[in-house]
């Protein structure tokens, strides 16, 4: 293994460990209440295996994408541990958690076309993973209409992200087309 590859791998593993620690007490909303860390790991996997992305900044940002929104992590802490490049990607994707849910969703749709290329791809992987979760491990309390609305909102966000990774876009489209499987 080259030194550059080792450094990249070290960075990604550091991000996994950091995210696992920060999300350690959190669970997903599915019926089994699966560990939250499964979600950021799934994002990194989608980027790597389906999006053919091996950039350690993108993979690390995917692993860390919810730390500021969903944990006590601050931008300063992330910057201190991971530097400006990764922190910038995470911040570009982070919602303002002080806003009502409907406003956050509206802003995501508006901001999507203006995201930088790396955050666009991480956001796209996030939407792919979220739709897969809605299909195969949905939140226990969500009725069909809420699941359908979520699919449509994700499509509106992704429509603004298009143009940077046709492979990931095709994966999203294939998952979106499975919305008829919703129950």
Domains of the chain: 3-181 (1.10.3210.10)
Per-residue pLDDT tens over the stretch 147-167: 999 999 999 999 999 999 999
- The pLDDT of residue 46 is 98
- The pLDDT of residue 3 is 87
- Average pLDDT of the chain to the nearest whole number: 96
Instruction: For residue 77, name the pLDDT band (cuts at 50, 70, 90).
Output: very high
- The pLDDT of residue 58 is 98
Query: Which of the following is catalytic: 30, 69, 77, 95?
Result: 69
Query: Which of the following is catalytic: 55, 70, 77, 95?
Result: 70
Per-residue pLDDT tens over the stretch 56-75: 999 999 999 999 999 999 99
Q: How far is CA 109 from CA 136, 154, 158, in A?
A: 24, 9, 8
> Alpha-carbon dihedral of residues 165, 166, 172, 178, nearest 10 degrees?
-170
Any catalytic annotation for residue 69? yes
The phi, psi pair for 36, rounded to 5°, reads: -60, -35
Instruction: Give the sign of the dihedral formed by CA 97, CA 94, CA 76, CA 7.
Output: positive
Q: How far is CA 101 from CA 34, 107, 139, in A?
A: 23, 10, 17
Any catalytic annotation for residue 70? yes
């Amino acid at each position: 293994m080259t030194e550059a590859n080792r450094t990249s791998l070290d960075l990604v593993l550091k991000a996994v460990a950091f995210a696992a620690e920060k999300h350690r007490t959190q669970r997903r909303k599915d019926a089994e209440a699966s560990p939250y860390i499964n979600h950021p790991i799934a994002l990194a996997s989608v980027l790597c295996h389906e999006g053919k992305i091996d950039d350690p900044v993108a993979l690390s940002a995917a692993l860390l994408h919810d730390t500021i929104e969903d944990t006590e992590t601050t931008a300063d802490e992330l910057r201190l541990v991971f530097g400006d490049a990764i922190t910038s990607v995470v911040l570009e994707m982070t919602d303002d958690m002080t806003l009502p849910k409907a406003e956050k969703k509206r802003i995501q749709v508006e901001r999507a076309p203006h995201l930088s290329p790396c955050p666009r791809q991480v956001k796209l992987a996030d939407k792919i993973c979220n739709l897969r979760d809605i299909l195969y491990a949905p939140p226990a309390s969500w009725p069909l209409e809420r699941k359908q609305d979520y699919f449509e909102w994700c499509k509106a966000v992704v429509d603004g992200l298009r143009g940077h990774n046709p492979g990931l876009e095709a994966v999203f489209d294939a998952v979106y087309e499975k919305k008829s499987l919703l129950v």
